[in-house]
Amino acid sequence: MTATSRPQPPAAHGNGTRAPPDNGAETFAKFFECWILQQSRDLDALRAAAAAPPAGPGPDDDADPRRLVDRVLGHYEHYYRAKSAAASADVLPMFAPSWISATETLYLWCGGWRPTAALHLLYSKSCAQLEAQLPAFLDGAGLRDGDLGGLDAEQLQAADQLQRRTIRSEREIDEAAASAQESLATTKMVELAGGGGAAEQGMEREMEAKAEGMRRVLEMADGLRMDTLRAVVALLRPPQAVHFLVAAAELHLAVHDFGRRKDAAE
């Protein structure tokens, strides 16, 4: 998937989570609840795989880090297909989603998480796991390469290059978003704004055209989010990718749960 490709409409998924039909935000909010449950199940499987000793090939997907990682990435792709279908019906709620907490809205970038955050997460988790290995390393043991503390020089260089590319892509999307937002103040819109009720139909047409610009921004941003996630996983060995996906799910679920509890307390 490229940053500008349009995902195909979603179909029923094998995990039992069905993507919403094209009837807007209310159905996507219900889908999002299912997505949170699916991510919790994925996190349990990822944690078990991260804690398990290396296993040989077998019929159990969860015993094979590569197959488990591919399955979890497939769930992310399913989420973005569902989001694209809902945005085709009404893009406006995607930029002010009711299904997340007020805390989470503070960190929204073009309708979701900022793609470079995936690189910051990689570096943070790598530092934490490397620090945990230091006592054993100082006692003469080698560094483990099965988690993110064992990133080698080639992987770090690939991560740095990916971060640079992602920053450039984010800037391009920022420019597209600015252009779409600035179009609100065109001469035509100014004329319609002063036209009273007779201008209602014209305003409707103009606003729909401007919403289409924001749909393209969301499409680009979600494409970059998925591209970046896949690119991070691609530069890691399968056991390391498991640890990265654990960190990503833990962070998302923890912030979501914290925000919901904070909203409920207010």
Q: Where are the beta strands (DSSP E) in the chain?
A: none
Phi, then psi, of 82 in degrees rounded to 5 = -65, -40
* Sequence-ordered alpha helix ranges (H) in 196-237: 200-234
pTM of the prediction? 0.82
What is the model's pLDDT at position 65?
A: 94
Residue 7: inside a domain: no
Q: Please give the structure tokens belonging to residue 71.
A: 């399955």
Task: List, for residues 41-88, the tens digit of each pLDDT value.
Answer: 999 999 999 998 765 545 555 569 999 999 999 999 999 999 999 999
Report the number of distinct structural domains present in the chain: 1
**Which residues on adjacent β-strands are paired with residue 112?**
109
In the predicted structure, residue 14 carries a pLDDT above the cut 70: no
Q: Please give the structure tokens belonging to residue 34.
A: 């299912």
What is the model's pLDDT at position 59?
A: 52
Range of the domain at 211: 25-116+160-265
Residue 102: inside a domain: yes
Q: Please give the structure tokens belonging to residue 131.
A: 């620090």
Task: List, for residues 139-196, the tens digit of each pLDDT value.
Answer: 555 556 678 998 999 999 999 999 999 999 999 999 999 998 877 766 666 776 766 5
Closest CA to 85 of 23, 15, 158: 23
pLDDT-based confidence at 122, cuts 50/70/90?
very high
Closest CA to 218 of 114, 91, 32: 91
Residue 51: inside a domain: yes
Residue 13: inside a domain: no
Task: List, for residues 168-180, the tens digit of each pLDDT value.
Answer: 999 999 999 999 8
